[in-house]
Amino acid sequence: MTAVLKAGASYFAAAYLVGFLLGTLRILLLVPRVGETGAVLLETPLMLGVSWIASRWCTNRFAISAAPAPRLAMGFIAFALLAATEIGVSMLAFGRTPMDLLDLYRSAPGIIGLAAQAAFAFFPLVQALLGGRAR
């Protein structure tokens, strides 16, 4: 397995594990108190911070070049794994079809989540543009 593939898979795994834990807390603790949109707005900055740190760690750990192509590939791999896992979990755990999942992206929480996932995909490149080992 190439370094970019390993980095992308590791980046996805780190973000997904933390996201699963935060998502559980969001649903159980925040949604009843502040609603779905409020809960997503509270969770998103934490997830973006975790993703930023995970991206930096993975690019350093796997020595990913600061060139745009490997950074974009790493982000795309992580995003593709995230999307595939989200579809799978949505279908298996919640009985949703892929179209049902797409419908969720028409809501405010869905749009916020999708925007955060897009940022997640581009973090490796953004960090390279900021100097490779962006803090």
Distance CA 49, CA 55 (A): 10
Range of the domain at 43: 3-129
Structural domain includes residue 112: yes
Structural domain includes residue 90: yes
Q: Is residue 134 over pLDDT 60?
A: no
Burial of residue 131 (CB within 10 Å: 0-12, 13-18, 19+) is: exposed
Distance CA 114, CA 98 (A): 15
pLDDT tens digits, one per residue of 44-91: 999 999 999 999 999 999 999 999 999 999 999 999 999 999 999 999
Distance CA 2, CA 35 (A): 42
Structural domain includes residue 135: no
Whether the full predicted model's pTM is greater than 0.85, yes or no, is yes
Model pLDDT, residue 129: 96
Structural domain includes residue 48: yes
Structural domain includes residue 15: yes
pLDDT, averaged across the chain = 94
Structural domain includes residue 134: no
Model pLDDT, residue 1: 67
Distance CA 23, CA 82 (A): 14
Scanning 3-131, the segments in alpha helix (DSSP H) are 3-25, 31-61, 68-94, 98-104, 108-129
Residue appearing with tokens 């745009």: 68
| Count of domains for the chain | 1
